[in-house]
Structure 1
Amino acid sequence: MDELLAGIEQLAFVRVLKASFVAYPIVNALHIMSIGALLTSVWLMDLRILGAFRSLPHAAFVALLRRTAFAAFAGALATGSLLFSVRASEYAAMPIFFAKMTLILLAGANFLVFMRRAKGGDEPAGGTVTIVAVLSLVLWTSVLFAGRFIGFLN
């Protein structure tokens, strides 16, 4: 595993990213933007499921935010992978990095539960969907905190 991680760090595009005065900060900024869009869309979607913003049509609002969250997650995944590649060996050895990846997997599993339980219509579905929405808020916020700890513990 150490060889694989060291190999990632030696890829040509990773060396360019490390050496560039401009590229790394841009990738980092795009990662922060993606996280901001992801968390904003998740929070607004979950709050709507929990009954906030009742004047907005439930199904259309949630569908829009779900698409936004997917796009933002894709951006965060791409930029996060690039940021990881620069110091793959170091990050992979950090327990907080493992915690962040675990939280992301749990948030993804929670989303799959949401997709199976969510109902269309104009009002929140209640029951299991309410629990899933609250759990989503907690999980994605925890992902954010874990990510910030990675930046300050290295």
Structure 2
Amino acid sequence: MAEFLAGIEQLAFVRGLKASFVAYPIVNALHIMAIGALLTSVMLMDLRVCGAFRALPYAAFVALLRRTALGAFAGALVTGSLLFSVKASTYAAMPIFLAKMALIMLAGLNFLAFMRLGRATGGDVPAGGAASVLAVFSMLLWTSVLFAGRFIGFL
């Protein structure tokens, strides 16, 4: 595994990213933007599931935010992978990085559970019950992912 991670760090585009005065900060800024869009859309969607913003139509509001969250997640995945590649060996050995990856996996499983619940209820998940529990769990998980990510930069 160590050789694989060291190999990632030696890829030409990774060395270029690491050496560039402009590229790395741009990727870092794009990652922060993607995370901001992801957390904002997830929080608003989860709050709506919990019963907030009742004046807004549930299905349209949640569908828009879900698409936004998935696009933002894709952006965060790409930019996060690029940031990881610069110090792959270092990050892979950090318990907080591993915790962040585990939290993202749990958030993904929570999303799948919510989608399954939505299919079981015909797509219009009412506030309360299991949907609200999953929404609150989602907000806690994604906030924890954010904090774990910030700790990576300071350890």
Q: In which range does the TM-score fall when normalised by the shorter chain?
A: over 0.9
Instruction: Specify the alignment match of 1:133 in structure 2.
Output: 135
The two structures have a TM-score, normalised by structure 2, of: 0.96
Is this contact kept in 2: 1:50–1:130, CA < 8 A? yes
Is this contact kept in 1: 2:14–2:82, CA < 8 A? yes
- Separation in 1 of the partners of 2:135 and 2:84? 29
Q: CA deviation at 1:124?
A: 2.6
- Separation in 2 of the partners of 1:152 and 1:125? 39
The two structures have a TM-score, normalised by structure 1, of: 0.96
Instruction: Specify the alignment match of 1:73 in structure 2.
Output: 73
1:145 and 2:125 are equivalent in the alignment: no
Matched length: 152
Is this contact kept in 1: 2:46–2:139, CA < 8 A? yes
- Separation in 2 of the partners of 1:52 and 1:44? 9
> Structure 1 vs Structure 2: percent identity of aligned residues?
79
Residue 53 of structure 2 aligns to a residue whose secondary structure is coil
Instruction: Specify the alignment match of 1:112 in structure 2.
Output: 112
Instruction: Specify the alignment match of 2:5 in structure 1.
Output: 5
1:124 is matched with which residue: 126, 134, 141? 126
Residue 89 of structure 1 aligns to a residue whose secondary structure is helix
| One-letter identity of the residue aligned with 2:142 | W
- Separation in 2 of the partners of 1:84 and 1:134? 29
Instruction: Specify the alignment match of 1:20 in structure 2.
Output: 20
Give structure 1 stretches of 5+ with no counterpart: none
Residue 154 of structure 2 aligns to a residue whose secondary structure is helix
Q: CA deviation at 1:126?
A: 2.5
| One-letter identity of the residue aligned with 1:145 | F
Is this contact kept in 2: 1:8–1:88, CA < 8 A? yes
The list of structure 1 runs, each at least 4 consecutive aligned residues, that deviate by more than 6 angstroms after superposition, is none
Q: CA deviation at 1:125?
A: 4.3
Aligned Cα RMSD in Å? 0.9
